[in-house]
């Protein structure tokens, strides 16, 4: 019989991992890269990446335990205050810039 042999079942799975976490800049932004891989019987068929950033003062309660631990360590009250001050200064500078 030509065609698909339905007795040989292949197992497809999707694996999502945070494969890279970086701390960037003076205000300790946390960059997270998430990899989504599609596997067939344990062999990777394809993968893709998504990145997002958690900045000082952001709500990180929906992040993984690992990212939460890093945010708790790096986003001190001083770092949060300095980041907020820099954002306010940037906003004020943009208002003062002639068009």
Any domain includes 7: no
- State the Cα–Cα distance between residues 79 and 70, nearest whole angstrom: 13
This prediction's pTM: 0.79
- State the Cα–Cα distance between residues 89 and 66, nearest whole angstrom: 32
For 2-61, what is each residue's pLDDT tens digit? 556 666 678 999 999 999 999 999 999 999 999 999 999 999 999 999 999 999 999 999
The answer to whether the beta carbons of residues 57 and 80 sit under 8 Å apart is yes
- Residue 84, both tokens: 């907020």
Under the banding of pLDDT at 50, 70 and 90, the label for residue 93 is confident
Greater confidence, 92 or 76?
76
Any domain includes 6: no
Does the pLDDT value for residue 73 go beyond 80?
yes
Any domain includes 73: yes
Q: How many domains does the chain have?
A: 1
User: Edge-to-edge strand order for the sheet containing 43-54?
Assistant: 12-24, 29-40, 43-54
Look at residues 92, 80, 67 and name the one whose alpha carbon lies nearest to residue 26: 80
Under the banding of pLDDT at 50, 70 and 90, the label for residue 68 is very high
Q: Could you tell me the residue range of the domain that residue 56 belongs to?
A: 12-96
Any domain includes 2: no
- Residue 39, both tokens: 């596997």
pLDDT at 9 (0 to 100): 76
Any domain includes 1: no
């Amino acid at each position: 019989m030509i065609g698909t042999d339905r007795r040989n079942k292949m197992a497809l799975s999707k694996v999502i991992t945070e494969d890279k976490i970086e701390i960037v800049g003076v205000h300790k932004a946390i960059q997270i890269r998430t990899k989504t891989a599609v596997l067939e019987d344990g062999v990777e068929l394809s993968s893709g990446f998504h990145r997002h950033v958690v900045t000082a003062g952001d709500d990180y309660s929906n992040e993984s335990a690992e990212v939460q631990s890093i945010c708790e360590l790096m986003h001190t009250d001083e770092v949060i205050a300095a980041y907020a001050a820099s954002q306010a200064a940037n906003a004020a500078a943009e208002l003062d810039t002639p068009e």
